[in-house]
Amino acid sequence: MVQKPIAIIGGGIIGLFSAYYLLEWGEKVVVIDKSSGNEGCSFGNAGMVVPSHFIPLASPGMIEKGLKWMLDSESPFYVKPRISLELLKWGLQFYKNSNQKHVDSSVPLLRDLGLISKLLYHDLAQKLKYSYEEKGLVMYCKKQNTLDEEAHVAELANNIGIEAKVLDKKSIHKLEPEIRPEVAGAVYFPGDAHLNPTELIESLKKYLVDKGVVIKHNSEMINIQTVGDEITSLEIMNDEQKEMLEVGNVVLAAGSWSGILGKMLRLNLPMQAGKGYSVSKSQVPNKEIFIPNILVEARVAITPMSGRFVRFGGTMEIGGLDGTINMNRVRGIIKSVPEFFPDYALDVPKKEEVWYGFRPCSPDGLPYIGHSGAYKNLFINTGHAMMGISLAPASGKLIAQQILGKKTEMDLNGFSAQRFGN
Ligand SMILES: Cc1cc2nc3c(=O)[nH]c(=O)nc-3n(C[C@H](O)[C@H](O)[C@H](O)COP(=O)(O)OP(=O)(O)OC[C@H]3O[C@@H](n4cnc5c(N)ncnc54)[C@H](O)[C@@H]3O)c2cc1C
């Protein structure tokens, strides 16, 4: 009998790593992606691999901060007011989860997922050959009260086994000579890493295709056929032609579109797209930025990539799947950089030079990884928000383990795709 493939809906980093581990365990895999294959959230992001980011977005104080930011057109966070039941439900869940109890239960989950991923990236860098460096991450603070908050996170990090150091001005300069002396201080997480996401995806795709995985681009999953509680085929639209693909198992890894597709699949996966922007510029000769860093007040991520250029990324706009580029927010990113790196006073880029991506955000800040509960052969791997690159290898490995009935490397209950009901 011909083996039916495992179909993965979504060819971003989460879909590709799901494919990778299924392939490694001998499965036949088809990845279906509606994009042309070189765009989307997994490409132009900041490439940080950060086990240090173990606190979920839904946490105490976030609502207050968010409301304050809403009043500033250049701020890093914005919710576009609109009449949407989905947004309302999502906001309500976000509010319900923004408490200490939720943080306490999420921290070990995000820490473990992050640490497993980091180890996998370390090993895979040799095999897949993408630019990957383990130089850590610095969180720069302009103001003392921000530094105090970050120092508190550093203390928590050390308590849960993630190394963190609070740096004074002198030690900051040793690490990054080009930083302005006015910064109040910083927290350094030496265990973090970074990579070039485009190189990663290209090498991962090449590896998969060479080993027999079929990756179909410009192919949109538009419907399913079922028998009882099993999905038997996916209806795919490619180049205005319909195709029926018979499937064994199915993995939904469609990023910010997973919530909408979830409805077709009898699932309740609350999801909002959190749009972010990035701009990439060459390193300034003799004034290079060495260590990936985050400007904490501005929420701007700065990553030196592939020894050639620096990427500046930020902003979280909850505004639906709307690809309009808001230049005010891009300006906010650009303006914050020379406050820390005086040689990086960048011109505001043209719209065409700005990259954007939709982060798939669940309302409690945790991804959905596991069985769907809706169809017996449907599995979910999505909702990684600001951490999709960081968490992709572990998430891919875990979903593959679950599909194949292997013991999962960590417990998946906290990531249940059914946690918001059906
Ligand atoms: C500015 C910015 C900076 C970031 N920096 C970092 C960082 O430093 N570290 C980090 O860990 N994360 C970072 N992220 C987050 C990270 O980029 C995302 O979490 C990650 O890319 C999400 O991957 P994904 O595969 O879930 O989604 P996507 O990459 O969006 O992939 C989903 C795919 O599904 C496809 N699809 C949708 N619907 C269908 C359908 N019906 N049929 C077929 N295909 C479909 C889409 O075409 C898309 O290609 C950043 C994001 C932004 C915006």
Mean pLDDT per 10-residue interval, the chain, length 422 residues: 92 98 98 93 97 95 82 80 92 95 97 98 93 96 95 98 95 91 94 97 97 97 97 94 97 98 96 97 94 96 94 95 94 95 94 96 97 97 98 98 98 97 82
Q: Which residue has the tokens 């991450």?
A: 137
Q: Which atom of ligand 1 is nearest to the CA of 303?
A: 8
Task: Supply the pLDDT for residue 408.
Answer: 98
- Looking at the domain assignment, is residue 68 inside a domain? yes
CA of 220 to the centre of ligand 1 (A): 16
Task: Supply the pLDDT for residue 306.
Answer: 87
Q: 177: domain range?
A: 57-98+132-192+272-361
User: CA 383 to CA 133: how far, in whole Å?
Assistant: 26
- Looking at the domain assignment, is residue 124 inside a domain? no
- Residue to mutate (ligand 1; options 137, 215, 260, 389; most atoms within 8 A of CB): 389
Task: Supply the pLDDT for residue 208.
Answer: 98
- Nearest-5° angle of CA 83, CA 88, CA 94? 145
Task: Supply the pLDDT for residue 283.
Answer: 95
Task: Supply the pLDDT for residue 232.
Answer: 98
Task: Supply the pLDDT for residue 112.
Answer: 98
- Looking at the domain assignment, is residue 71 inside a domain? yes
Contact 65, 58 (CB under 8 A): no
CA of 317 to the centre of ligand 1 (A): 15
- Looking at the domain assignment, is residue 381 inside a domain? no
- Looking at the domain assignment, is residue 178 inside a domain? yes
Contact 381, 252 (CB under 8 A): yes
Q: Which atom of ligand 1 is nearest to the CA of 13?
A: 25
- Looking at the domain assignment, is residue 393 inside a domain? no
- Residue to mutate (ligand 1; options 17, 33, 316; most atoms within 8 A of CB): 33
Residue 233, CB-side half-sphere exposure with 13 Å CA sphere = 9
- Looking at the domain assignment, is residue 86 inside a domain? yes
Whichever domain contains 308, its CATH number is 3.30.9.10
CA of 257 to the centre of ligand 1 (A): 10
Sign of the CA dihedral 356, 419, 261, 263? negative
User: What residues contact 383, with CB distance under 8 A and at least 6 apart?
Assistant: 258, 269, 271, 360, 361, 362, 366, 367, 368
Sign of the CA dihedral 51, 56, 60, 65? positive
Q: Looking at the 3D structure of the chain, how many domains does it have?
A: 1
Task: Supply the pLDDT for residue 105.
Answer: 97
Pocket, ligand 1, Cβ cutoff 6 A: 9-15, 32-35, 40-42, 45-48, 220-221, 253-257, 261, 276-278, 301, 313, 357, 359-360, 382, 384-390
CA distance to 99, 177, 284, per residue, from 289 (Å): 36, 8, 8
User: CA 42 to CA 10: how far, in whole Å?
Assistant: 11
